[in-house]
Amino acid sequence: MSDANARHGRPALVQAESIGKVFDVSAPWLNRVLERRPRQLLHAVDDVSFQISRGETLALVGESGCGKSTVARMLVGLYRPSRGVIRFDGHDLAGLSRSDGPRLRRRMQMIFQDPYASLNPRWKVADIVAEPIRVRRLLTDQGAVRTRVEDLLRHVGLAAADAEKFPHQFSGGQRQRVSIARALASAPEFLVCDEPTSALDVSVQAQVLNLMRDLQRENHLTYLFISHNLAVVHHVSDRVGVMYLGRIVELAPKQAIFERPRHPYTRMLLDAIPDIKMTGKSRTPVGGEVPNPLNPPTGCAFHPRCPYADTRCRRERPDLKPAGPGSLAACHAVQEGRLAD
């Protein structure tokens, strides 16, 4: 599968090709033998493909447990894919040599969801931000390292004097700024942002999001942005991938997702947003619950909750196929023309 950006000639920095991740969640071996229970495998991510062009922000959205964070962790190497290929700047990350691996890994960093848990409470901010510089041996002179740390703190809207403070002396928004400074310390090209504002107040969220957009323009960064907040996604993204039970069910430019969604699940997610303007538009709230990923439905995983499901949906799993200009959707009803615009 190739994305619209590739067709428009924009070079892809990150490529995920049919990646999947399976976790063994079985009971201990002796329990399985005594209770005659089989192994249990959880397919957290199943056959996910996408590309991210240089300078672009791709957002992944979906309900909790859909596999967004697992995709993020596979891209930065925290999880090894059970199958599929992840390429960064044309290099297969699974086949990197000892010399090429650290060099490419330095070009990608991750910003975690909880700024209270992602920073070492026993370290000063100076040591936290300087750690990637020292580990990667980007600078060896301590004076140069100190100057780089202070520059990074000022770059994210903090003061140079904040380097001598501990994480508990900051607010949540300030801590996330420290996390961003640490992520920028190795001068990366690609940032994976795993719900970086979900633990923050709404007003602080806006400040951090605006900071991230400014940094993207100034440093020519590429983002994968994980979120379940569609308002945040609308603010930061260029394209949006909608995930459900480990698979991407719709992938399209931001404007197409919010103005002309194709997949029934995407439409239900958008209908769940409060109608502050009181437009009176007919809305279909998301019904039911996400199925048990240990025992997913046959065919389309969304069919138990979908008002458009038919016999084919219950029997045959749909593939991600073109569904409009630059859009892809995995839905039999869309492909058969059964959904009205």
Amino acid letter, residue 267: R
Q: How confident is the model at residue 101 (pLDDT cuts 50, 70, 90)?
A: confident
- The answer to whether residue 162 sits within a structural domain is no
Q: What integer best gives the mean pLDDT of the chain?
A: 89
Q: How confident is the model at residue 65 (pLDDT cuts 50, 70, 90)?
A: confident
222: pLDDT strictly greater than 80: yes
Please give the structure tokens belonging to residue 141.
Answer: 């002179």
Helix axes 172-184, 142-155, angle to 10 degrees: 130
- In order, the DSSP letters of 257-303 are HHHS--SHHHHHHHHTS--TT-------PPPS-PPPTTSPPSSSTTG
Q: How confident is the model at residue 7 (pLDDT cuts 50, 70, 90)?
A: very low
What's the domain count of the chain? 1
Which residue, among 48, 56, 49, 47, has the nearest Cα to 12 in the 3D structure?
A: 56
Which CATH number does the domain housing residue 24 bear? Answer: 3.40.50.300
- In order, the DSSP letters of 83-111 are EEEEEETTEEGGG--TTHHHHHHTTEEEE
10: pLDDT strictly greater than 70: no
- Map residue 305 onto helix, strand or coil: helix
Neighbours of 47 (CB within 10 A): 19
- The answer to whether residue 257 sits within a structural domain is yes
- Map residue 128 onto helix, strand or coil: helix
Please give the structure tokens belonging to residue 282.
Answer: 């007919």
- The answer to whether residue 48 sits within a structural domain is yes
**Residue 131 neighbours by CB under 8 Å, 6+ apart:** 182, 185
- The answer to whether residue 240 sits within a structural domain is yes
- The answer to whether residue 79 sits within a structural domain is yes
12: containing domain: 4-107+220-335
- The answer to whether residue 208 sits within a structural domain is no
Q: How confident is the model at residue 117 (pLDDT cuts 50, 70, 90)?
A: confident
